[in-house]
Amino acid sequence: MADVSLRGVSKAFGDTQAVDDLTLSIKDGEFVVLLGPTGAGKTTTLRLIAGLERPDSGSIVIGGRDVTQLAPAVRDVAFVFQQYSLYPHLTVYENLAFPLRSPARKWSETQINSRVLEVAKLVRIDHKLENKSTRLSGGEMQRVAIGRALVRKPAIYLMDEPLSSLDAKLRGDLRLELKRIQAELFSTMLYVTHDQIEAMTMADRIGILADGRLVQLGTPREIYMEPANLHVAARLGQPAINLLPADLLPEAAAPAGTKTIGARTEHLTIRKAANGHADGTVDWVEHLGDQNHLHLTVGNRKLVTLTDPDTLFEKGDRVTIRLKAPLYFDGAGNRITG
């Protein structure tokens, strides 16, 4: 495993600037997740590091070696694609063993066997080693694909939304496992996704990508609690942060220049209006089971917050709303701290 850094890397496809002056350092043993919507430049970034694309400018350094001009094969990276790509005629065992059989490695069968078994256990596919890879469910195939990357110990693992084709439950299980495997192996990992939950739960640091640019880089807590601007604030949190005009609610001690107030559940105190003054009304309570969303109207704006599973709020209730240390943003959308 090794440090990986990108220095001022740019890549355009025709008129589209896919990656724009990207500088990013991933420390040895670190799990970095790039989060952004489709078209933000996530996959292109991975492909540039893997050597599947050449940058227009900038350099890529892996383990102290400038690999910008090197072929993919000599970069010592392992890539897991969004769509599992297994050898259909081989068994699970042979699929996992394949990367280790490269003549350059000169591994003995005993070494290969013990490594395959170890990884098969990690990705929980050890009960199906003799199955043909085509006779697996989607989730199992993707675990084999991840396992095939893990049998090697490359400088860095590059993962392109490896869980997005799986169902919710399996995704939840594999999230926890992948993070644990990474921590156990102390492997360097760059993982891209559009799923904020994957980013929040697995990353040591999250990089927020938009239009090919790195907008903010920090721990999940930093990104969630101290977003640099409106764009970042809107990327994390479920329900999404409420972005309100500065003068919508009373008593907001907003600093000068505040145009927008960002209020998450933890920034709001909502009570039923006793009598007289009310700030808003309850539109409906959305029962999502584990999370219940309270939908409110304040003036001409809608607000959504988490509420207790046994909430006593009902449609039509008039409520008072107080802000507790919310986030402030200026006219350009940048955070005002202070």
Which residue, 38 or 275, has its beta carbon nearer to another protein? 38
Distance between CA atoms of 173 and 185, rounded to whole angstroms?
Answer: 18
Tell me how far, at minimum, the Cβ of 207 lies from another protein, in Å: 17
Distances (CA, A) of 140 to 120, 145, 197, 198: 11, 9, 22, 19
Q: Around 102, how many Cα atoms within 13 Å sit in the side-chain half-sphere?
A: 8
Q: Which residues bind another protein (CB under 8 A)?
A: 37-38, 167-169, 172, 175-176, 179-180, 194-197, 200-201, 220-221, 224, 235-238, 240, 264-266, 286-290, 306, 309
Which residue, 89 or 180, has its beta carbon nearer to another protein? 180
Tell me how far, at minimum, the Cβ of 176 lies from another protein, in Å: 5
Which residue, 37 or 250, has its beta carbon nearer to another protein? 37
Which residue, 77 or 166, has its beta carbon nearer to another protein? 166
Tell me how far, at minimum, the Cβ of 221 lies from another protein, in Å: 7
Tell me how far, at minimum, the Cβ of 38 lies from another protein, in Å: 6
Which residue, 68 or 193, has its beta carbon nearer to another protein? 193
Tell me how far, at minimum, the Cβ of 76 lies from another protein, in Å: 29
Distance between CA atoms of 29 and 41, rounded to whole angstroms?
Answer: 23
Tell me how far, at minimum, the Cβ of 82 lies from another protein, in Å: 13
Which residue, 207 or 220, has its beta carbon nearer to another protein? 220
Q: Are strands 318-323 and 16-26 parallel, antiparallel or unpaired?
A: unpaired
Could you tell me if residue 169 is left (phi over 0), alpha (psi between -120 and 50 degrees) or otherwise beta?
alpha
Nearest to 294, CA basis, from 274, 275, 321: 321
Which residue, 190 or 304, has its beta carbon nearer to another protein? 304
Residues 6+ apart with CB under 8 A from 239: 265, 293, 304, 305, 306
Distance between CA atoms of 91 and 98, rounded to whole angstroms?
Answer: 10
Q: Which amino acid is at 265?
A: T
Question: What are the b/e assignments for 159-187, b being 16+ CB within 10 Å?
Answer: bbbbbeebeeebbeebbeebbebbeebeb
Distance between CA atoms of 235 and 127, rounded to whole angstroms?
Answer: 39
Tell me how far, at minimum, the Cβ of 267 lies from another protein, in Å: 10
